[in-house]
Amino acid sequence: MSVSVDISWKSLNKHGEELCGDKVEVLKTDDSDIVILADGMGSGVKANILATLTSKILGTMFLEGADIVSCVETVARTLPVCKEREVAYATFSILQIFHNGDAYLVEYDNPECVFVRNRKLVRYPYEERMIEGKKIREYRFRVELNDCFVLMSDGVIYAGVGELLNFGWQWEDMAAYTLKCTKETLSASRLTAMLSQACYELYGEKPGDDTTIAVARVIPRRVVNIFTGPPLQKADDERVIQDLMKQEGKKVVCGGTSANIAARVLKKDIVTSIDYADPSVPPMATIEGLDLVTEGVLTLGKALGLLKRYERDEFDEAFFDELDAGNGASKLARLLIEECTDLNLFVGKAMNTAHENPDLPFDLSIRMNLVEQLKECAQNLGKKVNVRYY
């Protein structure tokens, strides 16, 4: 079994603070995905520095193959000690999921990870170790498809203290709510947004502590293939459509001319939708054998806008309402955010005289610019991207 991991995280700053005292690092190695969540003591600048140092040290050492004992010892010796409380530092959780299905979790003073498997909460056995006088929990286990893991800082389980609930949102409440949400959500980012929103509301929209949630879901490999723009040579029309159709996964065509090429080569009809869900996004069409057919430059541009907001962590429940809208740009963005681990782009290099000056080389064209941005954005979101030009 080879698994892919869908990872997302979101932080709420303590009310009135510009910097967050929690820090999440997501690392990818050749054979694993690693999530590190560090929570610096206190709040504001000092906590931010402690959490950043901790996550960077742990990340660097982990990538170099150091064991957890060396990591914890290094963190303990490196971080400054708080004069008032006589303790350094930051607490942390590290989750490493290998592509072969093995997994390793270590927790130091952060709330326990919430594990969801087959729509049930599960508790894995762990070993306790003392390192530098600190109690560390270590878990080793095998993952299965659709497993979900939620790491959190302690701001999550203090949500609601004194505001709405006498004793805050206990770990059990958080776990039960996570379980309810995982039954109705698909992606790590959607679950992250729901859990973060719940904490925000429990704090009366004024978080009393830095509050961070990191979600990792074990998912199958999902491929999305996009063909956009006519090939430079008309003779390549057939080749690009054959290359597109022999790929596994979803098949998308963006652009009127591209759709005409696909319909001609596939010998299928184009049926244009008359439903204008959003007047600012051109209507979609359908071609038998393809999963999504949209207009080109305008739709790609709007989809890219949604992807970039997501990349900047500007996602909440309202963002996902936009993502669920019935227009081509939202459908394309949702496909790339929630249903894609690998993206194949098939890009024709012919100019579209409707949009640009045909005397300009292709490299300066709007479509080329959009494709480059789409590639970069998808890679930043952890997708594997492959581009072929025709």
Tens digit of each residue's pLDDT (9 = 90 or more) over 216-237: 999 988 999 999 999 999 999 9
Work out whether the CA dihedral 245, 246, 251, 255 comes out positive or negative: negative
Read off the pLDDT of each residue in 329-356 and give the average, rounded to a whole number.
87
Joined together, the tokens standing for residue 213 give 């949630």
Read off the pLDDT of each residue in 291-304 and give the average, rounded to a whole number.
95
Give the strand pairing for 211-219 and 148-152: antiparallel
Task: List, in order of start, the domains of the chain with CATH numbers.
Answer: 4-219 (3.60.40.10), 223-389 (no CATH)
233-274 per-position pLDDT tens digit: 999 999 999 999 999 999 999 999 999 999 999 999 999 988
Strand order in the sheet with 90-98: 22-28, 32-40, 90-98, 102-108, 134-142, 127-131
Q: Which residue, among 292, 231, 236, 241, has the nearest Cα to 264 in the 3D structure?
A: 241
The answer, yes or no, to whether residue 284 has pLDDT greater than 80, is: yes
The pLDDT score that the predictor gives to residue 155 is: 92
Read off the pLDDT of each residue in 14-22 and give the average, rounded to a whole number.
94
The answer, yes or no, to whether residue 166 has pLDDT greater than 70, is: no
The answer, yes or no, to whether residue 143 has pLDDT greater than 60, is: yes
φ and ψ of 309, to 5 deg: -60, -40
Q: Which residues contact 345 (CB under 8 A, 6 or more apart)?
A: 225, 226, 228, 371, 374, 375, 385, 386, 387, 388
Work out whether the CA dihedral 253, 257, 259, 264 comes out positive or negative: negative
Give the HSE-up count for residue 386: Cα atoms under 13 Å, Cβ half-sphere: 10
87-121 per-position pLDDT tens digit: 657 899 999 999 999 999 999 989 999 999 999 99
| Residue 90 to residue 153: CA distance in whole angstroms | 10
Give pTM, 2 decimals.
Answer: 0.88
The pLDDT score that the predictor gives to residue 132 is: 76
Strand order in the sheet with 250-254: 271-272, 285-286, 292-294, 250-254, 223-228, 342-347, 384-389
The pLDDT score that the predictor gives to residue 84 is: 65
Average pLDDT, the chain: 89
Q: Which residues pair with 8 in a beta bridge?
A: 215
39-70 per-position pLDDT tens digit: 998 888 989 999 999 999 999 998 888 888 88
The pLDDT score that the predictor gives to residue 251 is: 98
Instruction: Give ∠ CA 338-340-343 in degrees, rounded to 5.
Output: 145
The pLDDT score that the predictor gives to residue 92 is: 93
H-type alpha helices, the chain? 44-63, 68-78, 171-182, 188-202, 237-245, 256-266, 297-311, 317-323, 328-338, 366-380
The pLDDT score that the predictor gives to residue 278 is: 80
Give the HSE-up count for residue 311: Cα atoms under 13 Å, Cβ half-sphere: 19
